[in-house]
Chains A and B, each alone.
Chain A
């Protein structure tokens, strides 16, 4: 009996300490990790999507709170059009895939999409990031009309062969971007006006 109790007590106390330590380290590194992801994963994707813009999209950004998550929007301005880029997530083969979606505010068309963070199988699902031919199918499609789903599911997108789950996950992320954009558009326009001032 004594042994029983000591086993339970030791394991419980040890786990509690471990939990406490990890929570402390996590909250200590959270900000830096967010910055690193921004610098190494999101920034290159944003620069590719909003390529010939007059401003710096990494600086002109704002956050909008949608239900329980806050989404960062990056603004790219050209002479007579403005585009925003933001990230959504879809479920892939190896967990969440981040998809950066750029949308033109005037025409409501997709400017471009790029995969950011992912843990897909190298050589199969990872092609979504390394080879842009899949994500470039989205470019030019209208947010209001296009169906972001693979052809088998009645959509407009050709899936990557050998990476169906990744393709479907990216379509889910894209549809999520569609919803978010349509829902938050008035607020996005308002924020951009404030940014200009």
Chain B
């Protein structure tokens, strides 16, 4: 059991890393990765939703009638997203202001619904949780990496502290929307080069 759990967990970190292999959940990935902090915050919020919704969907998989399964999944996901939104407002208000509209939009993040539909709805709870943790961590890593590239080049800082000398001219293009597409495209390209056999 531990072995199969480990397998489901690790696949989310590399072989099926959401952002670069499954290419799911691009909307928040492009929008909030201006800085590493935002990327990781968004990733953790999504991870929480993923784990909880995977667990619940998996536990209820024999009770939920197949014809209304999507509606049930959305109810479950939306509930946890609202929980995250309220908790973030209560404890990390500044991060909440930064992420803004993208927190409620986790509901329609195809990664969350995708895992519920493709994995949690067909597998037992312990595997579904392992899958959720793996996918969540993979997503967080992806967002963090993209955020790091964009923050480094676009603002010359990493987690708010400068990385280059004072003579560095920030490449502001990278923190704007087109820079997000370029950054993601180049990282996908890099991942494909590395993963090529």
Structural contact, B94 and A7, CB atoms closer than 8 A: no
| Stretch among B65-73, B113-121, B127-135 lining the A interface | B65-73
> Which of A1-23 touch B at CB < 8 Å?
3, 6-7, 10-11, 14-15, 18, 21-22
Chain A binding surface, main DSSP class:
helix
A25-B83 contact given A14-B72, A36-B90, A40-B97, CB 8 Å threshold: yes
- A26 touches B (CB below 8 Å): yes
- Cβ-defined contact, A3 with B83, below 8 A: no
| Contact indicator per residue, chain A 119-159, by CB within 8 Å of chain B (1) or not (0) | 10000000000000000000000000000000000000000
Bound Cα distance from A33 to B83, whole angstroms: 13
Q: Is B109 an interface residue (CB 8 A)?
A: no
Q: Is the CB of B79 within 8 A of A21?
A: yes
Whether A29 lies near B67 (C-beta < 8 A) is no
Q: Please determine whether A33 and B79 come into contact, CB atoms closer than 8 angstroms.
A: no
Indicate if the CB atoms of B76 and A14 lie closer than 8 Å: yes
Inter-chain contact A33/B64, CB cutoff 8 Å: no
Contact size class for B? Answer: 20 to 34
The answer on a CB contact under 8 Å between A40 and B82 is no
Quick one: which of B72, B86, B89, B94 contacts A11, CB cutoff 8 A? B72
> Which of B76, B83, B90, B94 has the most A CB atoms < 10 Å from its CB?
B90
A59 within 8 A of B: no
Question: Is B44 located at the chain interface by the 8 A CB criterion?
Answer: no
Chain B CB within 10 Å, residue with most, of A11, A22, A32, A36: A36
Name the contact of A6 in the complex, choosing from B65, B83, B101 (C-beta under 8 A): B65
Mask, A29-50, CB within 8 Å of B = 1, is: 1001100110110000000000
- Within the complex, the shortest CB–CB distance from A152 to chain B, in Å, comes to 30
Considering the chains assembled together, what is the distance between the CA atoms of A32 and B86 in angstroms? 10
Interface check B5, CB cutoff 8 A: no
- Chain B residues with CB under 8 Å of A39's CB are 93
CB <8 Å contact, A40 and B75: no
Separation of A37 and B94 alpha carbons in the complex (Å): 10
Interface centre among B63, B87, B93 (most CB of A within 10 A): B93
A38 to chain B, nearest CB (A): 10
Interchain CA distance A119-B99 in the complex, whole Å: 12
Distance from A7 Cβ to chain B, minimum over Cβ atoms (Å): 5
Cβ–Cβ < 8 Å partners of B72 in chain A:
10-11, 14
A96–chain B nearest beta-carbon distance, Å: 15
Q: Is B78 part of the contact surface with A, judged by Cβ < 8 Å?
A: yes
Given known A18-B78, A40-B93, contact A11–B87 (CB-CB < 8 A): no
Report the Cα distance A160→B93, complex, angstroms: 29
Chain B residues contacting A18 (CB-CB under 8 Å) are 75-76, 78-79
Among B78, B83, B97, find the residue whose CB has the most chain A CB atoms closer than 10 A: B83
User: A26: nearest residue on chain B (CB-CB)?
Assistant: B86
Query: Whole-angstrom distance between the alpha carbons of A40 and B63 in the complex?
Result: 45
Residues on the B chain within 8 Å of A14, using CB: 60, 72, 75-76
State the Cβ distance, A23 to closest chain B Cβ, in Å: 11
Cross-chain pairs A/B with CB under 8 angstroms, 11 sampled: A6-B65, A11-B68, A11-B72, A14-B60, A18-B75, A22-B82, A25-B86, A29-B89, A33-B90, A36-B93, A39-B93
Q: Which residue numbers of B lie inside 8 Å of A, CB to CB?
A: 60, 63-65, 67-68, 71-72, 75-76, 78-79, 82-83, 86-87, 89-91, 93-94, 97, 100-101
Given contacts A11-B68, A29-B90, 4 further A-B contacts (CB under 8 A): A10-B64, A11-B72, A32-B90, A36-B93
